[in-house]
Amino acid sequence: MELNFILNGKPLTLTEVDEETTLLQLLRDRLGLTGAKRGCDTGVCGACSVLVDGRLAKSCRTPLAQVDGHEVTTIEGLRGPDGDLSALQTAFLEYGAVQCGFCTPGMVIAAEALLRRNPHPTRAEIRRGIAGNICRCTGYQQIVDAIEAAAAQRLAQEGEEDG
């Protein structure tokens, strides 16, 4: 099949794509984007999380037909145009929410999806927002702290821009 979609803000056309391929296989094995991790490969752990049209998706369970004509954002696409880490990524670093490279990209993506649909979540809502992402170090406290701080920072920034 031919596949047309927007990947991290850039339109992309790929030919000779096996339609049985999952989005995770395409990203990692053909496009060399290894930020989304292959954990369980069964839709359970969240390590492979990406955004499809801004909504959280487990790329190991996303058939390419669901991506054709849509917009995909991976962890690589969260950086600013000058390559700087986003405020959310920086908050993960500052609050000690990054403990391993395996769950963290998916966790940041889940947090990004949450903050896009709910810019001012409660701690309980944050916990629900990352419920599909497993951290085996059980460092959830720091992760919730980081997301809460990033939300507050985003709101403050928006207030400055409006004012």
Interface ranges with ligand FES (CB under 6 A) = 38-41, 43-48, 58, 60, 99-100, 102-104, 135-137, 139
Return the bridge partners of 51, or none.
56, 73
CB of 103 to ligand FES, least distance (A): 3
Identify which of residues 134 and 149 has a Cβ nearer to ligand FES in the complex: 134
Report, in Å, the least distance between residue 34 CB and ligand FES: 13
Q: Which is nearer to ligand FES, 137 or 155 (CB)?
A: 137
Minimum separation from the CB atom of position 137 to ligand FES (A): 3
Q: How many helices (H) and strands (E) does the chain have?
A: 5, 5
Q: What are phi and psi of 74, to 5 degrees?
A: -105, 175
- Minimum distance from CB of 124 to ligand FES (Å)? 21
Closer to ligand FES by Cβ: residue 110 or 150: 110
> Which amino acid is located at 2 in the chain?
E
**Residue number with CB closer to ligand FES (90 or 154):** 90
Select 85 or 132, whichever has its Cβ closest to ligand FES.
132
Structure tokens at 56: 């959280």
Tokens 């649909």, located at residue: 117
- CB of 120: closest distance to ligand FES in angstroms? 25
Neighbours of 151 (CB within 10 A): 23
88: Cβ contacts below 8 Å, ≥ 6 apart: 78, 108, 111, 112, 115, 146, 147, 150
